[in-house]
């Protein structure tokens, strides 16, 4: 059997309509830093491009999706679904919810657990706050 090569998970890339704006949202939310940006390529909309956030050693990349459709959460047959979401551990769940709202998130209409807040970022991606 062949030995497995060394593989390292370093980042997650999130599609969105405005990468710099979404990276700025998560930077504020997480107290993180936007460490790289690229402008829109010729012929792309002004908000297109790419941005990268350093979230404590794990990188989150935001890349422009020309045909962006926000996901529907929870999933609804025939609609765009959320194929992934970020889980964010917090010390104080209610304070984190209030902070996320202040940063520009919205509260998801469905809250299936009492110890998790499901939030929605400005581009429509769900993310979870939990203790």
pLDDT tens digits, 6-54: 999 999 999 999 999 999 999 999 999 999 999 999 999 989 999 999 9
- Looking at the structure, give the CATH architecture of the domain made up of residues 9-68: 2-Layer Sandwich (3.30)
- The domain made up of 69-131 has a fold known as 2,3-Dihydroxybiphenyl 1,2-Dioxygenase; domain 1 (3.10.180)
Tell me the domain boundaries of the chain.
9-68, 69-131
pTM (2 d.p.)? 0.93
Residue 19 CA to residue 52 CA, distance in Å, equals 9
User: What is the per-residue pLDDT for 92?
Assistant: 97
Phi, psi of 114 (to 5 degrees): -85, -15
Q: Is the pLDDT of residue 83 over 90?
A: no
Q: pLDDT digit string (tens) for 43-82?
A: 999 899 999 999 988 999 999 999 999 999 998 899 898 8
CA distances to 3, 4, 61, 84, 102 from 7, in Å: 12, 8, 19, 21, 38
């Amino acid at each position: 059997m062949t030995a497995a090569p060394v593989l390292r998970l370093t980042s997650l890339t999130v599609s969105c309509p405005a990468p710099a704006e979404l990276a700025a949202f998560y930077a504020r939310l997480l107290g993180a830093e936007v460490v790289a940006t690229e402008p829109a390529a010729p012929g792309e909309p002004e908000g297109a491009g790419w941005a990268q956030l350093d979230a404590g050693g794990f990188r989150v990349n935001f890349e422009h999706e020309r045909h962006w459709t926000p996901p529907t959460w929870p999933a609804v047959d025939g609609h765009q679904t959320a194929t992934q979401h970020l889980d964010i551990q917090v010390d104080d769940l209610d304070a984190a919810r209030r902070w996320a709202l202040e940063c520009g998130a919205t509260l998801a209409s469905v809250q299936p657990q009492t110890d998790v807040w499901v939030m929605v970022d400005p581009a429509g991606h769900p993310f979870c706050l939990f203790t």
